[in-house]
Amino acid sequence: MHNIIRKFKKSLDHSSREINPEDIFIDSANLPGLNRDRFEGRMERPIGERTFFFFKIFLAIVIVSLAGKLWGLQVKDGKVYAEVSENNRLDRTIVFADRGVIYDRNKLPLAENSIKPGEEDFAGRKYAPIQGLAAVLGYVKFPQKDSSGRYYDESYHGQAGVEKIYDYQLSGVNGSKLIESDARGEITSESIVESPRKGLDLTLAIDARLTEELYKAISAAAKLRGFTGGAAVIMDTETGEILALTSYPEYDPSVVTAGTDKEEIKRLLNDKSKPFLNRAVSGLYTPGSIVKPIVALGALSEDVIDPGKSILSTGALTLPNPYDPAHPSVFKDWKAHGWVNMREALAVSSDVYFYEVGGGFQNQPGLGITKLDKYFSLFGMTEKTGIDLPAEGEGYIANPEWKERTFPEDPVWRIGNTYHTAIGQYGTQVTPVAAARWTAALANGGTLLVPTVVKGGHSEDKRVLRKIDLPEGDWEIVREGMYQSVHGGVASGLSTPEVQIAAKTGTAELGVHKEFVNSWVTGFFPYKNPRYAFALIMEKGPVANLVGATSVMRQVIDWMTLNTPEYLLN
């Protein structure tokens, strides 16, 4: 027992004694195969307290520095940096597509893109300085900005003419780009995201030279002879393409599009002569005697009269008044023509002849208002032509229903109303483009076409509205009467050796006292192989004036002889 206690004390003495490394580890110097350069066989030593002290000081300095910087960013300069963050941005903006160019049939640019003064975002619109084209071209409205400079309307908008009708094709598709700007609003970089697609170009059937000449002739006559306006249409009798169309007076498309000349625009808007009215397409006018070829065809078709039969014109047709024999109803002719058959009546424009075949007199039966209405409608007087220009007017014919609506205080239809309707007076109203179309039908033997101002605008199966089925001999009789009108009749002012023309004039009386007239001329050329039909009106001139539409058209024909003879060839 004593030995055991002693050994236990001895073991306690050994356990409390400090252990030296050499008591446990083998001396590294004695270990074979150790690489001292790679720290093999070496002992690790603990980091000293001094090192920890300096590391703690360094770490404290870094934390204090970061805290100070964060305070500066968030508190001291927070507002400044917030503004910088707000103003340094990427903006997605529009890249405006160029609008398509409009050409005439000879590839002369009529409307094209240009640099817009003071505006770099989109192109301006430049119109050729050619008179007479406003009714066809129209004008455009540019994209619009709000007060902050952002676009709330990102498109061009055609406002009239082909600019409006073909706006979708001409407009193209806008693109977009990214713009990076700095805090001062200065652009630092730009990048196209989507490229714009230019609008389609448009080639018109219009000959700009001929249109300008028409306009100049109408303008000069209006100013010299006191007409308030005028319009003209020249149409291809085979395709319906419009070779020329103009309206006087007109506006300048460049001025209206730019919108900068406020005084001029205000003057145009307040002008009583209505320069924004396209008279050729939207104007409605009493036709007068230009309807007589249609009445003649109706009379032939309905066997009302033999074309060789003559009717006596003594200068008036007198109807007895059964209620007051002392006061018969007198319907005047513009002249005593003597005995005239159908061809001669067309040539000299005898009113008495057409009173009788239109309404009947004594032993001569007439068409009557119902059949007059039928044939006028058949030739398209009461419907829009479908021309590819905006705001087309729709004509109407004086008939019993029209009178009942218009004059409810005197709704009864009388024979005198039929007489006046048969010579294109009373309430009938037509547009110049409609007159050109039915004249083209007279020339081509009954094909009523759909007019177009675009070259190749209608495919062959869509250019015909309808065929008017009448005997070819009837068409020929009427065409011969119109030819005689130029060669010895009322349209003799159009007789020229350069081209054979067939025509029909008309003088529609206006006003309560008939102190004004609309002067018309319609026709086609060349006579043997008709290619172009025309209608020209001089609006509301003095009744005493003897110079009108026929004189204006002759000036144009003479100009064509020298400058565009290709249109006059047989």
Nearest alpha carbon to residue 120 among 90, 153, 96, 156: 96
Which of 140, 174, 203 corresponds to the end of one domain? 203
* Residue segments in the chain with a per-residue pLDDT below the cut of 50: 4-5, 8, 12, 15-16, 23-26, 28-30, 38-39
Same domain, 384 and 480: yes
Domain assignment present for 141: yes
Residue 3: the pLDDT is 53
Where helices occur in 379-505 by DSSP H, the ranges are: 400-406, 415-422, 432-444, 472-486
Residue 252: the pLDDT is 96
Which of 145, 177, 203 corresponds to the end of one domain? 203
Same domain, 159 and 277: no
Residue 128: the pLDDT is 96
For residue 191 the two structure tokens come to 């990048």
Same domain, 236 and 168: no
Domain assignment present for 29: no
Same domain, 191 and 242: no
Nearest alpha carbon to residue 294 among 371, 210, 218: 371
Domain assignment present for 547: yes
Same domain, 175 and 270: no
Domain assignment present for 482: yes
Non-local CB neighbours of 365 within 8 Å, separated by 6+ positions: 304, 305
Same domain, 195 and 320: no
**The dihedral of CA 208, 209, 210, 211: what is its sign?**
positive
Structural domain span for residue 148: 90-203
Helix (H) or strand (E) holding 301: helix 292-301
Same domain, 127 and 255: no
Residue 42: the pLDDT is 53
Residue 5: the pLDDT is 47
The enclosing domain of 492 has a CATH number of: 3.40.710.10
Residue 480: the pLDDT is 98
Q: Is residue 423 within 8 Å of residue 289, measured between CB atoms?
A: yes
Domain assignment present for 44: no
474 to each of 294, 442, 444, 565, how far by Cα in Å?
A: 11, 10, 13, 31
Residue 514: the pLDDT is 81
Same domain, 319 and 298: yes
Same domain, 137 and 252: no
Per the listing, tokens 């409608």 go with 377
Q: Is residue 416 within 8 Å of residue 355, measured between CB atoms?
A: no
Cα separation, 342 vs 349, whole angstroms: 10
Residue 321: the pLDDT is 82
Cα separation, 493 vs 547, whole angstroms: 10
| Identity of the amino acid at 138 | G
Residue 195: the pLDDT is 86
Which of 142, 170, 203 corresponds to the end of one domain? 203
The enclosing domain of 194 has a CATH number of: 3.90.1310.10
Same domain, 133 and 282: no
Same domain, 497 and 560: yes
Domain assignment present for 73: no
Number of domains the chain contains: 2
Cα separation, 227 vs 354, whole angstroms: 28
Q: Is residue 143 within 8 Å of residue 122, measured between CB atoms?
A: yes
Domain assignment present for 183: yes
Same domain, 171 and 253: no
Domain assignment present for 31: no
- In sequence order, the β-bridge partners of residue 67 are none
